[in-house]
Structures are given as structure tokens and as C-alpha cells.
Structure 1
Amino acid sequence: MAENQAKVAMETSAVEKQPETRTETKEAPSMVRTKRIMVAIDENDSSFYALQWAIDHFSNLLLTTEAVQGGTLTLVHVQSPFQFPVGPGFPTAAVYASSAMVESVKKAQQEASTALLSRALQICRPQKIRTETLALEGDAKEMISETVDQLNVDLLVVGSRGLGKFKRAFLGSVSDYCAHHAHCPILIVKPPKELTK
């Protein structure tokens, strides 16, 4: 009888140690985090070449499918703030502009930005990818780097104008500055030799 009680106790402990079976409902798979690629656009053909290169090589990250919510392609153009020429022949005290003149110049700058971004959108349209545009004013290097941080950009694409060492030293290079200050990977797309001539 003592043996039977021991058997029963062993069987009970074996049953108690079995894992519980739970019925779980599977939720739909969560969408993969949206990617954001930003391309800097300016008046140079090298920036449009960089845009086309980015579309050709990264469209798989930007397209929406059933399992993946497509990314966003952000096109940014930074317009330099309007300044009157100052220097020899332009005494600072003698240069005064009417508000109508300042407004006229600003309007022309906005129209130029709109035209550039429209041209860039025409390149993106056939790919059917989500695209947004930003027209900013300020120093291009600084504004692009700040915008990268504000929008949590995953990749910044900029074109290289192919400035020589002398021009780069005096003018500064947007791509060089962004490579050191933007807090995301940066891709500098060099144009083919035909565009640099």
C-alpha cells in the first residue's frame, strides 16, 4: 500500500510539472519601420544625377508592399538668404532697399526653389514612391545637417560638384560638411565625367 501511495505521488508530481498549454491569438505581423532617405537638390545637374541614382538603387526601400510600409523620399532645397552686395563699389551706408524690392527678390527665390523641386518630383513620379519636398532658407550645409536630425533621416544622399581643392577650401563643400556633421550615413554620388565638363 505504501508502494501504491508512492506511485500516485510520483504520477501527481509528473502531472504538476507539465507545461501549461495556452491558446494565443496571433496578431498581424507588425510593419517594418519606415525608412527615410533625404536627397539634397540644388541648381547643379550633379544633384539631379544623385537623385536618379538614389531612386535606381534604393527604390526597394521606398516602395510599399503588403508586408512592408514603404519609406519616404525627402527632397530638400536650401535657398541662401537674400543679401545686398557689400564691398568695393557698394558702400554699406548707401545701400537701402525698398520693401517691395526685397519682397520681389524673395518671391523670385521661392519660385526658383519651387521649380527645382518640381523638376525633382517629375523624376520621382514614375516610381510611385512616397515623396515630400522641403524648401528651406539659410546656409545649405547647416540646414541640411539640422534637418537630418529633426527628421531622423536614415540616409542622406548628396551630389558632388567636383570642386577642386582650391575652390573647396574657399567655398566649402556641402558634402564635406555633411559627412562630418550629419548624424546618419551619407552617400556622396559623384557624377559621370560628362556632367563635370
Structure 2
Amino acid sequence: MVYLVHVQHPFNNYVYPAGAGLHTAAFAASSVVESVKKAQAEVSAKILQRAISICKQNMVRAETLIFQGDSKDEICKAAEQTHVDMLIIGSRGLGGIKRKSMNFLMVAFLGSVSDYCAHHACCPVLIVKPPKHIK
């Protein structure tokens, strides 16, 4: 079984004005909040649907999970909660630290998150770099 994980960044329904009254916050209308949440759900569904179709084409059983929060923390929590044997995480090479080899059952595509997961996940971690022509 492969767990395909997508982590959404939490939506703050408030903004701080840049003009006078810098110590006040303006809150977004509930329709804006719902619109953003709906858009996030659609993006997550689209990403995970593509991953599921790839798994089906290769006859791999897969389940999708969507979390909201800080990616690195949520991925490590998901690995622990699902009791996976290995965490597989993609690296776009955007982080400051690059490593030659890392120690596999989830997929995520983030930058320095992979380095955090390599050090904090409860299981072995495999970091997959993209092909050179994709960078």
C-alpha cells in the first residue's frame, strides 16, 4: 500500500493593513474563506488524482491523504500515524543543504522539507531528486 500525501498551507482569514492603524487586522468575508478552501480542495484533488492514476497504471494499491498545516510537520506526523515502512519524498533542490544519499511509503514534492523529514521522520526516508531536464 502506498499513501499519497498532499499538505495544504493553512489559510489565514485575516490580513494586516499596511497603512495607518498598523495594529489592527481585517478579516476576510466568509465567502472569500470558502472560495479559498474550495480552490485548495480542487488543487489537492487534481494533484492526488494524477498520482492515483499513475499508481493504477502500475497496479499499485494507493490511498490519498490530505493534511493542512506546516508541510514538514504534517508529513512526519502522517508517517507516524500510518505506520509506514518507508517515507519517499521528492526534492526540488530548493533547500540550502544538499545530500548525496538518504535513507521509503509516501510521496510529497517540496524543497527543504525533505531535509527536515530525513532527520525527524519515524522511519527510513528516501529522497528522490527530479530529472535534470525538469529543474
Q: Which residue of 2 aligns with 1:178?
A: 117
Change (3 A) 1:89 1:108: farther
Q: Report SS of the residue matched to 2:133.
A: helix
Q: How many residues align?
A: 120
| 1:157 partnered with 2:66 | no
Aligned residue type for 2:123: C
| Distance (whole Å) between structure 1 residues aligned to residue 7 and residue 131 of structure 2 | 24
Q: Which residue of 2 aligns with 1:195?
A: 134
Of the candidates 34, 37, 40, which is equivalent to residue 103 of structure 1?
A: 34
- The structure with the greater share of residues assigned to strand is 2
Alpha-carbon distance, 1:93 to partner: 2.1
Gaps of 5+ in 1: 1-71, 167-171
Alpha-carbon distance, 1:145 to partner: 0.3
Deviations 1:121-159 (A, max 9, x none): 111111122110001111110000011111111010111
| 1:127 partnered with 2:58 | yes
Consecutive aligned runs of 4 or more in structure 1 exceeding 6 Å deviation: none
Which entry has the higher C-alpha Rg, 1 or 2? 1
Q: Which residue of 2 aligns with 1:113?
A: 44
Q: Which residue of 1 aligns with 2:74?
A: 143
Alpha-carbon distance, 1:87 to partner: 6.8
| Distance (whole Å) between structure 1 residues aligned to residue 17 and residue 92 of structure 2 | 28
Alpha-carbon distance, 1:116 to partner: 0.6
Percentage identity across paired residues of the two chains:
53
Deviations 1:29-65 (A, max 9, x none): xxxxxxxxxxxxxxxxxxxxxxxxxxxxxxxxxxxxx
Pairwise CA RMSD of aligned residues? 2.2
- The structure with the greater share of residues assigned to helix is 1
| Distance (whole Å) between structure 1 residues aligned to residue 52 and residue 6 of structure 2 | 12
Change (3 A) 1:181 1:164: closer
